[in-house]
Structure 1
């Protein structure tokens, strides 16, 4: 299973462990991923995604899954999130036409 956020694309970063004597050794900083069930108001269903805790706070700030995912870049989204984005855009366009 990939250690990458499905909505923001955040993945592992690399850096150093620095000892008291200033010896540096490589290490990985893994993102704080957590499984979250997110509700889409446009589609009327919920989706289970693995996202970072920071992305969860961003979703609350932006106004939910639909508002966030429509404005998100396609390169950052996972294939599952891209599928959700296409469904949401189609539903919103259908509602706007009616």
Structure 2
């Protein structure tokens, strides 16, 4: 399983450990990924995603999963999140059509 956030695309970064003697050794910085269950208001169901804590705070700041998916480009999302975004968009269109009729 790749260590990449499904919502923000945040992945591992490469850097150096630097000793007191200024020796540099390669190391990786991994994102703080959490398995979370987010609720979709439009779909009325919960979705399990692997999200970084930064991504989770961003979702809460924007106002929920549905708003985050509408705001974010598909290039940044994982395949699972892209499918979820399309599903939410269809549900929004269906809901507005039902209200208009």
State the TM bucket, normalised to the shorter chain.
over 0.9
C-alpha separation in 1, matches of 2:17 and 2:75: 31
C-alpha displacement of 1:17? 0.3
TM-score by length of 2: 0.94
Q: In structure 2, what is the equivalent of residue 88 of structure 1?
A: 88
Structure 2 gaps of 5+ residues are none
C-alpha displacement of 1:68? 0.2
C-alpha separation in 1, matches of 2:21 and 2:77: 41
Structure 1 gaps of 5+ residues are none
Q: In structure 1, what is the equivalent of residue 15 of structure 2?
A: 15
Confirm or deny that 1:79 pairs with 2:85.
Answer: no
C-alpha displacement of 1:6? 0.3
Aligned length: 98
C-alpha separation in 2, matches of 1:61 and 1:71: 12
TM-score by length of 1: 0.97
Deviating above 3 A after TM superposition, structure 1's stretches of 4 or more consecutive aligned residues are none
